[in-house]
Amino acid sequence: MKKRPDAFTLPSFNFFLFKMRFFIIMCSLMIVTRLPENLSGYHIHMIGIKGTGMAALAELLVSRGAKLTGSDVSDEFYTDALLRKLNIPVSSPFDPSNIPASTKLIIYSTAYTPDKNPELHAAVEQNIPRMSYPEALGAFSQHSYSAGIAGVHGKTTTTGIAGTLLKGLNLNASVLAGSAVSNFGGGCTVINGSKYFVAETCEYKRNFLFFHPQKIVLTSIESDHQDYYPQYEDILTAFLQYIDRLPQFTELIYCSDDAGAREAAKLTFSSRPDLVLTPYGKTAHGDYGIKTLGIQNGQSVFSLRGFDGEFRIGIPGEHSVLNAAAAIALVIGLIKQERKEVTAADLTTIRNSLASFKGAKRRSEILGEVNGILFMDDYGHHPTAIYKTLKGIHDFYPNRRIIADFMSHTYSRTAALLPEFADAFSYADTVILHKIYASAREKYSGSTNGKTLYEQMKKRHKRVHYFEEIMDAKDFVERELRPNDLFITVGAGDNWKLGRAVYNDLLEKAHV
């Protein structure tokens, strides 16, 4: 029996619910075509195939028998090696002649539009069936019992952990994460059958509404993507629309420690009493409530209310433990879906697989250590994610001085969350800032830039430095660093290049 959440009211909720359902109906009409269940020999051409998500989807499509070709820019990406391994011909530059006559479907990256990509323009002119990446991922999810992992923070790591556990259990499942995962062999996918499908699903522009979930993991909701969701209520509405795509009597797994996820669960309890609501976190009652939490021998150690014994994960931060609890809840749900009973052997495999998890690319990623200096990189670009990441690193490495280099991403996010960004670096001993890494989807308004953030942060932090260009900071960083320091690049920009450049320089000098 579900326990009723605390009361929650929202003005004009019936009208709000009507608008929510109407939008879902409209979204369902936007899908251009369906993927056939049997993809053997089915020719798909992918425009922008080198993108992380596109290349991962390509791997899944090949595993189902599809014949693929692709096109992209000529620059070398880490996905090139995967595409070569899959024997997928990739053409560049973009040109209508790259589209083979046998093409039955075009899948394109959302980075491209018909007015700016000649191949996509030709596809429209020739009336070739086409799908965007989110549409294709959604169509792919229709042919499996699918679970979508969603949230403003924690999607990639949660998906990576879930995939690692499923791989260890040898369950008939495929997994797609939004970044490379060490335990996936450095790729973004686990492919071990098609009965179950677990995927990271993105909230931006409501892309996740194309997905067909039987289960949803909801890690967090708060204001983000201000260019598309100006108010918190806008992004909350999008997540509620996603939850409402769950069929009757299926499951929402949500983080009870996160205010936004908790709010969504309360509203869902009222509007969808048929759904099973499964909370996880320190405040959660039930099997996935976190009872104890500590750090031992370089690992986070925790226990869950519904299970005897401890679980361990070797990446820093309380947020990583929450992600682990979410993944455990999802995977145990899939085991029960498969064979009704979770055995002691299953739990042993889950514990061992979790302890082996090494993280995802650009998620508290360790680049290496030289001269006693530890180099890390993290994709965190929202104040909450940054604060939790730095706190976790501080707790994991209490005796190291933390020097954080941050490049903020998008003018709209920086302007909307300026005070929060200024407060997010309290666990860093020294902070280095740069110009804002602009998005192609917005224009500079002239009101907020990198120096605006610098001036705000100086009011709250004693040691803040500003270098407009990332490589302008290189000499300063090399002079500043000393043994037992931890240097981390943070953000969704390209300041990761600074960390790698400094690390490689020091490594080269150390070997002279």
Instruction: Name which of 466, 453, 459, 474 is nearest 409 in CA terms.
Output: 453
Instruction: Name which of 466, 451, 382 is nearest 420 in CA terms.
Output: 382
**Are 118 and 182 in the same domain?**
no
Residue 11: pLDDT band (50, 70, 90) is: very low
**pLDDT at site 70:** 97
Residue 259 lies in a domain: yes
Q: For residue range 431-449, what is the model confidence (pLDDT) as tens digits?
A: 999 999 887 666 776 788 8
For Cα atoms 160, 166, 168, give the angle at the middle one, nearest 5 degrees.
105
**pLDDT at site 77:** 84
**pLDDT at site 474:** 95
- Given 116, 135, 154, the domain boundary residue is 135
- Whether the model clears a pTM of 0.85, i.e. scores above it, the answer is no
Q: Residue 505: which CATH number?
A: 3.90.190.20
Residue 32 lies in a domain: no
Residue 17 lies in a domain: no
Residue 413 lies in a domain: yes
Instruction: Name which of 209, 201, 211 is nearest 241 in CA terms.
Output: 209
Show the tokens assigned to 78: 């880490």
Statement: residue 31 has pLDDT above 50: no
Residue 268 lies in a domain: yes
**Are 193 and 335 in the same domain?**
yes
**Are 389 and 316 in the same domain?**
no
**pLDDT at site 33:** 59
**Are 348 and 462 in the same domain?**
no
Mean per-residue pLDDT of the chain? 90
**Are 321 and 375 in the same domain?**
no
**Are 328 and 446 in the same domain?**
no
Task: Count CB atoms within 10 A of the CB of residue 43.
Answer: 15
**pLDDT at site 46:** 98
Query: Is pLDDT larger for residue 51 or for residue 255?
Result: 255
Total count of residues recorded for the chain: 512
Residue 11 lies in a domain: no
Q: Evaluate the CA torsion angle 242, 243, 245, 250 in order and state its sign.
A: positive
**Are 489 and 380 in the same domain?**
yes
- Given 104, 135, 166, the domain boundary residue is 135
The residue segments making up the domain with residue 424 are 365-510
- Given 302, 325, 355, the domain boundary residue is 355
Residue 29 lies in a domain: no
Question: Where is 61: in which H helix or E strand?
Answer: helix 52-63
Statement: residue 360 has pLDDT above 90: no
Binding residues for ATP: 151-157
**Are 199 and 117 in the same domain?**
no
Looking at the structure of the chain, the number of domains it has is 3
SS3 412: helix
Binding residues: 151-157
The amino acid that residue 9 corresponds to is T
Residue 37 lies in a domain: no
Residue reference for tokens 């009493």: 273
Q: Residue 257: which CATH number?
A: 3.40.1190.10
Query: Is pLDDT larger for residue 5 or for residue 224?
Result: 224
Statement: residue 148 has pLDDT above 90: yes
- Helix 344-355 to helix 155-169 angle (10° resolution) is 130
Statement: residue 484 has pLDDT above 90: yes
Instruction: Name which of 133, 188, 194 is nearest 164 in CA terms.
Output: 188
Q: For residue range 131-142, what is the model confidence (pLDDT) as tens digits?
A: 999 999 999 999
**Are 165 and 197 in the same domain?**
yes
Q: Residue 77: which CATH number?
A: 3.40.50.720
